Amino acid sequence: MSFDIVPFEQSHLGDVIDLITLHDEDDGEAAEYDLKGDVEDHWVALVDGSPVGISGYRKVPSTDGTAYLSWTYVHPNHTNQGIGRSILNYVIGESRSSGSNKMFVKVSNYDDGSNVYQFGMKLYESAGFREELTNLDFYDVGEDQIILGMELDTSRSDPTEVKDERPTIRFDGIFNIAETEGAYTFSWNVQKNPLFGPRSFTVQDLYTGLRAVNEDGGRIVFLTFPSNLPLVHKPLQEAGFKYVGSLKNYFELGIDEMHFVHRMET
């Protein structure tokens, strides 16, 4: 079957949301909100002028060329026709030529009987993605988030030394992670080091956040930090966080994104 890959336009939105909703209603809702605001770096596969596939990427701010694969779906009637593989490879190529060094994709292992998870994993792995970490029970109990990564610039080599940073980190809020049941994360900011008072990331900050999540009925807390912040580790460990894994070279070459989890006591 012949198809064309063209840049996404707002006129495609309705059809695209419909085809995503056929797979996952929550994703359809979230994609509508996301794509309404920004269609840049997204493409659709057209068959007879109608969108039957969508993919794209989003650059991650404050990183050295890291991107996340965005909504990638093919209409159920057009699977196994090479459309998914083609549009995915197209997006990876576009992202690479726009300067991306590394691309990640988040996958749920939820299986509604249609084998969409196994199908997606096979597709991503054949494109070159490799599993980097799994956030167990991320979306819901028993529904994990798997993050796969792929180096787009394979000529990069690890730097000999990465400079540690010791900023004063302060939490300023908690929020429920979109598309999850009871999974929370904390928002935090970096302050100028004060002359007096607490000057470092503390376990008390974590307890404050955990108490707030508990009061909100949260089930689990996920936090991520750059790997060059040595001050975060002891407080995280003291507060009962567990290390999940790292997304290699997420922020820049040699600076990974470390993932931590804390399960609320029931």
Partner 1 sequence: MIPIRDENPNNETPFITYGLLGLNVLVWIFVQGAGFGTSLESSICEYGFISQDLFGTSGAAVCPPSSTPPALSLFSSMFMHGGWMHLLGNMLFLWVFGDNVEDSMGHLRFLVFYLIGGVIAALSQGFADPQSGIPMVGASGAIGCVMGGYLMLYPKVKVTIAVFFFILFWTFRVPAYLMLGYWIGVQLLSGLATSTAGGGVAFWAHFGGFVGGCILVYFFKDKELLANHRYYGWSDTRAEESIWDDPRNRQ
For binding to partner 1 (CB under 8 A), which residues are involved? 136, 166, 193, 195-196, 198-204, 227, 230-231, 233-235, 237-238, 242-245, 258, 261
> 209-227 as b/e, with b when 16 or more CB fall inside 10 Å?
bbebbeeeebbbbbbebbb
**What is the closest distance, in whole angstroms, from the C-beta atom of residue 102 to partner 1 in the complex?**
21
**What is the closest distance, in whole angstroms, from the C-beta atom of residue 200 to partner 1 in the complex?**
5
Locus of tokens 């949260």? 218
Q: Distance of alpha carbon 255 from its chain centroid, rounded?
A: 17
Whichever of 98 and 204 has its CB closer to partner 1, that residue is 204
Whichever of 216 and 238 has its CB closer to partner 1, that residue is 238
Whichever of 119 and 188 has its CB closer to partner 1, that residue is 188
Whichever of 96 and 233 has its CB closer to partner 1, that residue is 233
Closest-CA residue to 132 (of 154, 118, 117, 147): 147
Whichever of 13 and 220 has its CB closer to partner 1, that residue is 220
**What is the closest distance, in whole angstroms, from the C-beta atom of residue 155 to partner 1 in the complex?**
27
**What is the closest distance, in whole angstroms, from the C-beta atom of residue 61 to partner 1 in the complex?**
24
Q: Which two tokens stand for residue 5?
A: 């890959």
Whichever of 8 and 139 has its CB closer to partner 1, that residue is 139
**What is the closest distance, in whole angstroms, from the C-beta atom of residue 154 to partner 1 in the complex?**
26
**What is the closest distance, in whole angstroms, from the C-beta atom of residue 146 to partner 1 in the complex?**
13
DSSP strand pairing (220-226 vs 242-252): unpaired
